[in-house]
Structure 1
Amino acid sequence: MKKRVGFLSFGHWQAVPGSQARTGADALLQSIELAVAAEEIGIDGAYVRVHHFARQLAAPFPLLAAIGARTSRIEIGTGVIDMRYENPLYMAEEAAAADLIAGGRLQLGISRGSPEPAQRGYEAFGHVPPEGLTDADMARAHAELFRAAIAGAGIATSDPKMTGQEVPLPIQPQAPGLPERIWWGSGTRATAEWTARQGMNLMSSTLLTEDTGVPFDELQTEQIQRFRSTWAEAGWDREPRVSVSRSVIPLLDDRDRMYFGDRSGEDQVGFLDGGLARFGKSYVGEPDALAQELAQDQAVREADTLLLTVPNQLGVDYNARLLGALAEHVLPAIGWEPNR
């Protein structure tokens, strides 16, 4: 199994002391430059998180298209798009356009989304769950229509006055292969099984919205194993992909120690969306120690793709240096090789 590694940026921006991303323009333009630098290092993917009503990256497709136009090898993706907010058909057009610009490198992570600063913010975008359904139901319905559209389903009926006949019309453009590059962000073992039945790849982050008392990497490994078992039972004719996210910070000098301390944290258990959630630890330390720790992470071993969250407000140069250090000293320990 080829091990891939990408970076994941939330795109925070704020005019505070020490921030190199002080405006929305900074966050967007620096995301493009970091993707270019990451490709030169040999990193496999450039992924962005999508949030609404916050000083973070929000509208992903212009950014992904720009990254695709400036790069040639690196995968471009999201982790994740909140489908409660999306017009599925317009999103299908935008996704296809971004994928074509990038030459088929789009890896699109979608999900029900996570808590947002706005109460029912998706309603401000014009999306209200039908009576008797939840916002999660609406997100899955949006995802179903989006996936049908990018697969070429007839969405509207042609006007005979324009076409001479009534025929089903798909959205345009179409992006070959994109339907197999859709990932669902899953926070539980049950949702991972649902994802497998739908034929989507699995994206699992640094938190799970359930807790069984075992370490985070063990719980996430069980989630991945259940996903793969259900995938096999469903009889899909391709191998799925699985990603996990981690915060991994090598301490190279006093500046790193000032920002991040000198030791890794531990798993944390808290409440999210009204239930227990387990948050995975951060990996912080000397590169050699990090390599040993990361190699022992069961879920990192189980997944084919590792997404590394980056402190984007520290700027392009800092994060390129961070990724370069990880590429040289840490990532080979998990079986990764540069993509050049």
Structure 2
Amino acid sequence: MEDPLPLTSESLRKLGFLTIGLFDAADPRQGHESTLGIIELGERLGFDSAWVRHRHLQYGISSPIAVLAAASQRTSRIELGTAVIPLSWENPLRLAEDLATVDILSGGRLNPGVSVGPPMHYERVKEALYPDTSDVEDFSYNRVKRLLDFVRGVPASDLRGMEGFEVFSDRVQPHAQGLGRRMWYGGGSLRSAQWAGEHGMNFLTSSVVKAEESEDFTEIQLSHIRAFRAHHPDGDRARVSQGLVVIPTDSASPEQRAKYQEYARKRTPRTATPQGPARMMFAPDLVGSAEEIAERLYANAAFREIDEVAFALPFTFEHDDYVQILTDMATKLGPALGWSPTS
């Protein structure tokens, strides 16, 4: 006999959302203001967290830390995250300084998510990015470890104390107490899940995973969650956030519903089989009423293992669409999953 589906009384503890922050090249401010407005709306609706994606040489947020610094001054409660910063584009020491600064400005609300691996289209960008060191840059997990050490207060130099009229610290300043426990790794492979657990990070699992030992998306994602917790000092209490694309339609207009369904229809073929040389698997977008989506989520074995989500907003919709989707998430879908908004 199959296990019964969880009841809604088994609460979703944290409800968040993720946005890419697209903008028009001719008027980039409007797109950035839209993103900040969406984050402010998320706080008013009681969401626990708002996350921004990271895009380089595209028309999406290229500097999430700067955007979240602005968001930190327009909000007072909602947690602010990145999903994710590709560390191959970053200097870990400088990034640690930026993260700590924004965490201090936000009052301890920053949740940085990172990943590693060579930059996308590296052969085309390496001369601009690393003109002198492109062939020796280390894009392994060591880059994450360096960032973790700096954020957590491991010395960055042997210079400390007074030198003339200046005072030096041997560790990154400002030091943001607690930020080290709020570092997330965005992983789509079994090895990434294990590594994140071994190094005491939190784990972001999204709508994309690698087909390594299976071609069933949910089965793969579930194995990652369990491997992460098996290798984490906190075991089953280790934090995991799931980030599927979820589009509730309860208050959507007929035109919006048609647009959402067409968006999902065009993306569905890629969910059938592994894609590309890396054999990436994509989860289907969840479109429908809050009740329908909740039923599909409760049937998802990976969802039943977690109590935090950061539902991903579609890339190419309009501001009013995001307002409708977020409002339905907070007022319809969240409660259907047992979640209560934060006042």
1:328 equivalent in alignment to 2:331 = yes
Cα distance in 2 for residues equivalent to 1:26 and 1:166? 42
Alpha-carbon distance, 1:162 to partner: 1.1
What is aligned with 1:174?
175
Cα distance in 2 for residues equivalent to 1:114 and 1:310? 26
Matched AA of 1:217: T
Choose from 229, 244, 251 the match for 1:246: 244
**Closer, same or farther: CA 314–23 of 1 in aligned 2, 3 Å:** farther
Look up the SS of the partner of 2:274 in the other structure.
strand
What is aligned with 2:28?
24
1:5 equivalent in alignment to 2:8 = no
- 1:78-97 alignment runs, 5 A limit: 78-97=82-101
Look up the SS of the partner of 2:331 in the other structure.
helix
What is aligned with 2:220?
219
What is aligned with 1:39?
43
Cα distance in 2 for residues equivalent to 1:123 and 1:244? 36
**Closer, same or farther: CA 170–298 of 1 in aligned 2, 3 Å:** same
Matched AA of 1:247: V
1:147 equivalent in alignment to 2:145 = no
What is aligned with 1:300?
303
What is aligned with 1:258?
258
Cα distance in 2 for residues equivalent to 1:161 and 1:225? 49
Cα distance in 2 for residues equivalent to 1:310 and 1:182? 22
What is aligned with 2:294?
291
1:61 equivalent in alignment to 2:85 = no
Cα distance in 1 for residues equivalent to 2:210 and 2:119? 12
Task: Verify the 8 A CA contact 2:19 2:52 in the aligned structure 1.
Answer: yes
Cα distance in 2 for residues equivalent to 1:100 and 1:269? 44
Cα distance in 1 for residues equivalent to 2:121 and 2:28? 17
Cα distance in 2 for residues equivalent to 1:130 and 1:238? 40
Cα distance in 2 for residues equivalent to 1:236 and 1:222? 17
Cα distance in 2 for residues equivalent to 1:126 and 1:163? 35
1:125 equivalent in alignment to 2:110 = no
What is aligned with 1:157?
158
Cα distance in 2 for residues equivalent to 1:95 and 1:216? 33
1:208 equivalent in alignment to 2:209 = yes
Cα distance in 2 for residues equivalent to 1:175 and 1:332? 34
Choose from 304, 314, 327 the match for 2:317: 314
Please give the TM-score of this superposition, normalised by the length of structure 2. Answer: 0.85
Q: Number of residues paired by the alignment?
A: 326
What CA deviation, in whole Å up to 9, does each residue of 1:56-100 have, x standing for no partner? 111111111111111111110000000001011111111011101
Alpha-carbon distance, 1:309 to partner: 1.4
Choose from 278, 281, 284 the match for 2:281: 278
Greater Cα shift, 39-48 or 213-222: 213-222
Cα distance in 1 for residues equivalent to 2:201 and 2:127? 27
1:197 equivalent in alignment to 2:207 = no
Task: Verify the 8 A CA contact 2:108 2:176 in the aligned structure 1.
Answer: yes
**Closer, same or farther: CA 82–339 of 1 in aligned 2, 3 Å:** same
What is aligned with 2:186?
185
Greater Cα shift, 282-291 or 54-63: 282-291
Alpha-carbon distance, 1:158 to partner: 2.6
Task: Verify the 8 A CA contact 2:206 2:242 in the aligned structure 1.
Answer: yes
Matched AA of 1:6: G
Task: Verify the 8 A CA contact 1:78 1:109 in the aligned structure 2.
Answer: yes
Task: Verify the 8 A CA contact 1:11 1:313 in the aligned structure 2.
Answer: no
Task: Verify the 8 A CA contact 1:45 1:75 in the aligned structure 2.
Answer: yes
Query: What are structure 2's unaligned runs of at least 5 residues?
Result: 1-10
**Closer, same or farther: CA 114–322 of 1 in aligned 2, 3 Å:** farther
RMSD over equivalenced CA pairs, Å: 2.8
Task: Verify the 8 A CA contact 2:116 2:143 in the aligned structure 1.
Answer: no
Please give the TM-score of this superposition, normalised by the length of structure 1. Answer: 0.86
Task: Verify the 8 A CA contact 1:157 1:167 in the aligned structure 2.
Answer: no
